[in-house]
Structure 1
Amino acid sequence: MITLKLYKLNIVLQPTQVFMISALIVNVGNYLYNLILGRLLGPEAFADAAILITFLLILSFVAMTLQLSVAKFIGTFDGSKKEAFLKYSRKWSIIIGAILGAVIVIGASELQEFFNTGSATMFRIFGMGVPVYFLMSVNRGYFQGEQDFIKLSITYQGEMLSRLLLTLAFILLLPFRSSELVALGILVSLIPGLLPYKRLSQKVLPAISTAELKHLRKFVVVTAFYELTQILINNGDILLVKHFFDAHEAGLYSSLALIGRAVYFVAWMFVMLLLPEVVKREKEGLDTTRLFFKYLGMITFLAIAIVVVNALFPALIINILFGEAYVEVASLLWKYALASSLFAIANVFVYYFLSLDKYLPVLLSGIFGLLQLTVIYFQHESLEMVVEAQILVMTLLLIVQGIYFLYHMKRSIRRN
């Protein structure tokens, strides 16, 4: 609990409220980072920078598998078992991160050719940071599982602020390609993101049982599959547009995506709180449906508000955020925001059931993620067609998730 003294008022903030405020600041900072890059670089150069930003988002979804897994099991373990699990998770995060980072470094030239970028070095710099990013995610998972939202907030603030300030300093002061400097800023910003770092005690830690490891592996596999669906749905369109369209149109689309995804990143703040709360209530034998409807209602309200604002003032929003060079895609802004909103609402269903160890919604997200990529791959004559394909697929996904929820509720009533 934090008490703020403003004039004669004492404002008491709960840790969850501090985290929500912090997450909002982080999202604003990340948006500011993207907007400044878009204005400084222009559509063509921003297209290359946007690929790195997209790779960072993809990496964050992969790392979220580690974070969610650690958060869930830290919430269920007691005493020194938590530290044993944290030690185990750190070891494997470094191993997996080193392998994935090496793949990116070795394949940098191929990545440059496929995405039509001006540099392969930017991918090599980016790949060096993957092990650190995964270790950082395990650290965050521990704080999330312990519901220590103050320390969790600090890690996000450190990463965001250092990336924003260092990247801008690098671009303004150093005589290298802008995309390479963006990659360097991402790499260096991971160090502050590790702080505060949970230290392990020196005592002998208990072993994790075979049954617990089996449960862990099952959860990790399912969560990894789900995060893969997040990558496909959230970033596949940008990667395909960068491949199929020229640099100018790809840069325009990247600006459109960054604005239209605002609803998704706002929703992320809520689902980060949803998982540990559902796990805790389920462990205590309490009802979780009211909690689900609370978060679903908040995210739906925010989604509607964001879509309406984007529909009413598209040109003004793009002009203020990115400048006149990007205004030609203004007519697509509300449509992209709608597609992101449908996906964000569908995500509430998936995270809820994931917390309850129900995995069918994860599979459904994967199927529709692949469907979205398939439709875009074969139907990409224009940027408008790409956006409308996403609206169609995400509408179907939300309907299917809603049907599964009603089916689950009906079965629960019958059992009771």
Structure 2
Amino acid sequence: MGRLLGPSFYGELAALFSLVGILGIVTLALNTVIVKYISSTNGDLERKGLVRWFTNKILIFSLALFVLVVLLSPIIASFLKINNPILVISVAVVAVFSLLVVVNKAVLQGLLRFNETVAIILTENGLKLILGVVFVYLGFSVGGAMLGLAIGAILGWLLSKSFIKGLAGSKEEISPDAKSIVDYFVPVFLQAVAVTSLYSTDLIFVKHFFDPHDAGIYAATSTLGKIIFFGASPVSLVMFPLVSARLTKGQSYRKIFFASFLTTVLISTVVLLIFKLIPGIVITSLYGAAYLQAVDLLLGFGIFMVFFTLSVFLINFGLSLKKTKIVIFPLLASIAQAIGIWFYHGDLKSVILVSTVVSGMLFLSLLMYFVLGKKSDS
């Protein structure tokens, strides 16, 4: 995609993708909450009624979100130096269908139907990529990429509906205890806000502060660096319901934790070594010679992503143990990152340095939290 668009237009597309991520914060939080409640249901009737309740509430929220983004689209477009507000509105379309698919995906995840969950993720993301590239190749530029993203989200939703036939479909709602869901949703939502902010705020600020070419170079660096996170993050997604289920049954979860943590470290380290040894080959192979300025940025961004990925793993582990206060750490880190980049953005390396320092401190703080917590329990 970056090779077809060139740095300037690719920077614009990356900023729009970051907006998709920010609007998808609720999706991340709801996925975790729904998985928790679905995995705790007793029988088909309770599960189907609960699915109906979540679906109805998310439908109302997604429509309200769409209207809000449409109203704010001129302001958002101006901040990001995007000439066409319709591109911002297309972000809202993607967000709506991403919200609708989250219930179906979370139902499957809560029932440990990992094959179907992975199939939805791969199909949805694959279609977004393929269709986006096709439309850009046909000359539709950034608008074509966003159209591909929207179609992929819609088709992903349709696929998810086909997978949950027989697992949902109640005409009556069964609502969970309001207080318990709020008590759990709030910290999970704050965690989603913080985590999404940590890998999106930098891109948005770079698009605002830097010229289009530099924003495109940074966007390419960011996308490559996130290979570490998206390559390793499925490990924690699989770990969460397994640890939660064992905790409920009073069984040991130590082996699951250590196996998952070591797998995450291994994946992150392998990708980081590739960035260290052959950054030029990675960049030219995926983006072309126009992005070679990213060579000097890739390793630093990769280190930021390693700390970030391990931090997210520990946060998800803490949430699976019902340690909801753990969300304070990423929340403070996201605020620190935003403030740091706002005041310290002399060049692209400065932006990466701020993110690396913040994510490194976050990881160390989380390690201390678990170590000290274990000592106090013993």
| Pair 1:202–1:118, CA change in 2 (3 A) | closer
- Rounded Cα–Cα distance in structure 2 between residues aligned with 1:90 and 1:363: 29
Name structure 2 gaps, 5 residues minimum.
none
Contact 2:52 2:170 in 1 (8 A): no
- Rounded Cα–Cα distance in structure 1 between residues aligned with 2:204 and 2:160: 34
Contact 2:53 2:174 in 1 (8 A): no
Aligned to 2:148: 185
Contact 1:74 1:145 in 2 (8 A): yes
Pairwise CA distance, 1:185: 1.4
Aligned to 1:142: 107
- Rounded Cα–Cα distance in structure 1 between residues aligned with 2:169 and 2:22: 35
**Matching of residue 172 in structure 1 with residue 142 in structure 2:** no
Contact 1:154 1:196 in 2 (8 A): no
| Pair 1:326–1:100, CA change in 2 (3 A) | same
Contact 2:243 2:321 in 1 (8 A): yes
Aligned to 1:33: none
Task: Give the share of equivalent positions with the same residue, in percent.
Answer: 23
The within-5 A match list for 1:210-289 is 212-289=177-254
2:7 aligns with one of 43, 46, 54:
43
| Pair 1:386–1:298, CA change in 2 (3 A) | same
Pairwise CA distance, 1:412: 3.0
**Matching of residue 94 in structure 1 with residue 59 in structure 2:** yes
Pairwise CA distance, 1:142: 0.5
Pairwise CA distance, 1:203: 5.9
Q: SS state of the match for residue 83, structure 2?
A: coil
Pairwise CA distance, 1:189: 1.2
Contact 2:4 2:136 in 1 (8 A): no
**TM-score scaled to structure 1, two decimals?**
0.86
The one-letter code of the counterpart of 2:145 is V
Aligned to 1:24: none
The within-5 A match list for 1:325-364 is 325-364=290-329
1:117 aligns with one of 64, 82, 99:
82
Name structure 1 gaps, 5 residues minimum.
1-36
Contact 2:51 2:168 in 1 (8 A): no
**TM-score scaled to structure 2, two decimals?**
0.94
- Rounded Cα–Cα distance in structure 2 between residues aligned with 1:346 and 1:82: 32
| Pair 1:206–1:164, CA change in 2 (3 A) | closer
The one-letter code of the counterpart of 1:47 is G
**Matching of residue 75 in structure 1 with residue 2 in structure 2:** no
Pairwise CA distance, 1:233: 0.4
- Rounded Cα–Cα distance in structure 1 between residues aligned with 2:168 and 2:5: 47
Aligned to 1:56: 20
The one-letter code of the counterpart of 1:270 is V
The one-letter code of the counterpart of 1:208 is S
Contact 2:30 2:185 in 1 (8 A): yes
Pairwise CA distance, 1:206: 7.0
The one-letter code of the counterpart of 1:188 is I
- Rounded Cα–Cα distance in structure 2 between residues aligned with 1:302 and 1:64: 22
| Pair 1:219–1:40, CA change in 2 (3 A) | same
- Rounded Cα–Cα distance in structure 1 between residues aligned with 2:121 and 2:214: 32
Contact 1:170 1:181 in 2 (8 A): yes
Contact 1:222 1:362 in 2 (8 A): yes
Pairwise CA distance, 1:308: 2.0
**Matching of residue 133 in structure 1 with residue 98 in structure 2:** yes
Contact 2:101 2:160 in 1 (8 A): no
- Rounded Cα–Cα distance in structure 1 between residues aligned with 2:266 and 2:130: 33
Aligned to 1:208: 175
